[in-house]
Structure 1
């Protein structure tokens, strides 16, 4: 292999790795995928990925050329649109449909692509997701409306954080703090008796790191210890910051406007939960930047995961039904990978979001600190632990029963 050819190949591998990391790819999947690409390109590689760094060691068969590259990176955010395009480009390269030079140019174009959904649609998706989550938690219609409205407030802070490093550093506590004050004012002057803690949790649910906790545990289960530990600890710190901001905001709000006395209202009928699953999965399309052609797959994944979980709850204990939901989701996502030849993550994340117990982790933290439950929850700590374990086990079993041919 000529040195110039080696340089071109290792440059592409490094760029590909950084872009996939930027789009929120789990570390164990990223490492496996990059090793596959390196093998197809005829070079050897050793890659270490963590949520905040990437290290590449690439060499030719005879060690005539060797290259080491280490980069400090920010934790990536899910961008399923760009992830799909990058995976498709890599597949075309490995199939010989595009050259390395052309692939390198196309990577730059993909990296510069904006979201297929504008800011207005994404903002509406924030409101829709927060309202849909409140529906899943059994809130009343007024509480669902207030949750959606405060979800828009969370989106404003999210946009501000994209432009300001200082705001980005305090995004979680400041967003939940403002939501707590706003909910307290609503409960005092507009709609007395509402469930303020539930509204605050719903309004910041997009920032609750339940998915990150699940990904971290998945990495630990795959024996990716450094990355898994880092991701779990980062998710816990985000959760603590969210809860502290909410606790402080509600405390300040009660001091300013007076304490709200919660009056339970009539919850939605059973069909409301299925409507909530549909609205939540639909709202995630813009938040995760899912490609339009993958929308039906994503919505179906959410219904399959939730439906299997609800169906199995009739004959399995609490938490174990999540194993069935995760198993069904894993099989469906792997079948999607075989049929569409796209990454497992594209539909897997849509289904996981209705199963991950991030909200219950928040509720358990609230119960531990305040001694009060703002929703009906018994033994929430044990249930959260069991759900997390069931999620990981379900996905592992699914990979054994219906293995995927793609690392992503």
Structure 2
């Protein structure tokens, strides 16, 4: 069947389809660009063509050779993970193309429909998802009811600003600064007046977690570990730039309220959340992740299982050998399980399986805590947080590469 499809596919059609495919993969590569080249190359082979991809995080040079002619296309796309429904829909399309079930023109039409599709959830559900996402993360900062109450308010403010950026794309360029400034002002003026509720940084972080580039940091480290030096280095610089924007917004909030940076201490309040609330918090977190990142709701249960597996492994191993070892083992287990599951044609893509479990490892918050603690004049504690950030980022990246390597069968073609 594949041969028949290849026989009628014109070189221009093949090149146009592969260019559209590369563009969508590039735009959804917020967790890393490692699989793009292999996916495009293997798909091209199935169409009787040859393809090479030269990648940077926000661009690609695609060269396609088909029917004795060669075409080169330059593509640009901002990497993100906010429309994972498109990533889910892309996997069966690529599978059908490789198996020869559909022609190239039909594949191109289906891909165009995926690109132009509307998000699976209305705006108000995405807003709710961002709030639930922050609420699920709040107990990791401080296991207190006060933290959850403050996060409900601050997370709603952050969600409204995020949706505003969806409607006004130009606003997105300054979104991290605006969000962190607003969260900083409200935290200082409303929630951080009583020191018994913990430091202001711990009250701010859950609401900012949706914008903290922990995924970019780990993706950059994973790309460096996999040998994608240019892509990993550029992504690392961008992740640090996003962190600095959030940090700048926090400082602007302090300046607007006339608050000294000395208030940016990192003191945890006495925990008062029951164990059942901590356990159920991961359900809230996973539901929020689905709604915030446009993941089809039918994937709730497998993703929830992966979240609890990741949390359980990290907790158990951390008690035995420490936080770095626990994070490394949890990342390796998560990557291995996700890699094995995604080999089945009826399973979602690896990126979707990894994302919620990955967020439980809470990388980027360490960077924010380190920067704000340094700004408060607490030099030793600030550098300890930053050093911990470097260590944990590396542990996650190497753990994921290690787990994927162990679980990946030989000569298995790449997939989106």
| TM-score, scaled to structure 2 | 0.89
Which of structures 1 and 2 has the larger relative contact order (alpha carbons within 8 angstroms, sep 6+)? 2
* C-alpha contact 2:134 2:151 (8 A) present in aligned 1: yes
Residue segments in structure 2 that go unaligned for 5+ positions in a row = 1-5
User: Who is 2:278 aligned against?
Assistant: 273
The structural deviation recorded for 1:4 is 6.6
What runs of 5+ residues in structure 1 fail to find an aligned partner? none
Q: State the SS of the aligned residue for 1:206.
A: coil
- Structure 1 length normalisation: TM-score? 0.91
Query: SS at the partner of 1:268?
Result: coil
Residue 246 of structure 1 is matched in structure 2 by: 250
The correspondence of residues 371-386 of structure 1 with structure 2, limited to 5 A, is: 371-372=377-378, 379-386=384-391
Root-mean-square deviation (CA, aligned residues, Å) is 2.6
Distance 1:296 1:188, change over 3 A: closer
Q: Specify the alignment match of 1:208 in structure 2.
A: 212
Within a 5 Å distance, the mapping from 1:296-311 to structure 2 comes to 296-311=301-316
The residue that corresponds to 1:32 in the other structure is: 38
Describe how 1:80-229 pairs up with structure 2 within 5 A: 80-187=84-191, 194-195=197-198, 196-229=200-233
Runs of 4+ residues deviating >4 angstroms? 1-4, 259-263
Secondary structure in 2 aligned to 1:315? Answer: helix
Distance (Å, rounded) in 2 between the aligned partners of 1:100 and 1:321: 46
Relative to structure 1, is the Cα distance of residues 239 and 30 closer, same or farther in structure 2, using a 3 angstrom cutoff?
same
C-alpha change, 1:121 and 1:107, in structure 2 (3 Å) is same
Tell me the SS of whatever aligns to 2:320. coil
Contact (CA 8 Å) 1:176, 1:243: kept in 2 or not? yes
Could you say which residue in structure 2 is the equivalent of 1:9?
14
Q: Write the mapping of 1:35-46 to structure 2, written as runs, cut at 5 A.
A: 35-46=41-52
Residue 400 to residue 166, structure 1, CA distance change in 2 (3 Å): closer
Query: Does the 8 A contact of 2:131 with 2:156 survive in 1?
Result: yes
DSSP-derived class of the 1:394 partner: helix
Matched, 1:288 2:293: yes
The 8 Å contact of residues 223 and 232 in structure 2, kept in 1 or not, is answered as: yes
Structure 1 residues 356 and 199: alpha-carbon distance in aligned structure 2, compared to 1, 3 A threshold:
closer
Counterpart position of 2:3: none
1:348 partnered with 2:348: no
Moved more, 47-56 or 232-241: 47-56
Paired with 1:74 and 1:362, the residues of 2 have a C-alpha distance of: 23
State whether residues 332 and 402 of structure 2, in contact with CA within 8 Å, keep that contact through their aligned partners in structure 1. yes
Structure 2 Cα separation of the partners of residues 120 and 203 of structure 1? 17
Aligned residues: 401
Q: Deviations over 1:293-334 (max 9, x none)?
A: 222111111111111000111211221110110111012101
2:241 corresponds to which of 229, 237, 253? 237
